[in-house]
Amino acid sequence: MSTRTVLHEADITRALTRISHEILESNRGPDDLILLGIPTRGVTLAHRIGALVSQFSGVDVPVGSLDVTMYRDDLSQHPTRAPHPTQIPEGGVDGKVVVLVDDVLYSGRSIRAALDALQDIGRPAVVRLATLVDRGHRELPIRPDFVGKNLPSARDERVNVRLTEVDGAESVTIEDGGAVE
């Protein structure tokens, strides 16, 4: 099995900085903005983007997490998924611009589950999607608004995102054999 590194720490930092600027530009500032990360690494990325958006705008942007485990349509294939806590910032999502943040966008099924979970929590004015890596192969009509890196890959390859806070290392790699979202 071969593995190649496609993003190093500096590349990830640059991508998140660009995404943060794009979010601010798209929203015309930080007003009514909430970032919700999808566990596990999406939460870490949401916190990083939130810190950058706050740094650039001078306004603290609320960051939370949105567990999608019980909304997934593949639980029968992956029954051992452990739920993570959903943490919605004070004030909720009603009427807000919610940016869902995930590490890798593949089939789109995690994002569909996130939209279902979000619907049970409230009614945002707008929902946008930020992802560090878009690897293609969509099974649903879902497209990210903010992308760190478009990374065409084969279905049998696996894209691994490693973040210091979770994994003790920082990189994005592609490994031959076995695709997972």
Domain boundaries defined on the chain: 10-73+84-153
Length of the chain: 181
Confirm if 19 and 45 have CB atoms less than 8 A apart.
no
Structure tokens at 99: 């940016």
Sign of torsion, CA 10 179 87 113?
positive
Segment 166-180 mean pLDDT: 85
pLDDT at residue 178 is higher than 70:
no
Element (H, E) at 161: strand 157-162
Segment 22-37 mean pLDDT: 98
**Whole-number pLDDT of residue 90:** 94
Segment 45-58 mean pLDDT: 98
**Whole-number pLDDT of residue 179:** 46
pLDDT digits (tens, 9 = 90+) for 88-143: 999 999 999 999 999 999 999 999 999 999 999 999 999 999 999 999 999 999 99
Residue 167, Cβ density class (10 Å: 0-12 exposed, 13-18 middle, ≥19 buried): middle
pLDDT at residue 180 is higher than 60:
no
SS3 letters across 61-93: CCEEECCCHHHCCCCCCCCCCCCCCCECCCCCC
d(CA 39, CA 137): 21
Segment 34-59 mean pLDDT: 97
Full-model pTM:
0.93
- Specify the amino acid at residue 29: G
The CATH code belonging to domain 10-73+84-153 is: 3.40.50.2020
pLDDT at residue 181 is higher than 90:
no
**Whole-number pLDDT of residue 177:** 73
d(CA 22, CA 52): 11
pLDDT bin (cut points 50, 70, 90) of residue 31 is very high
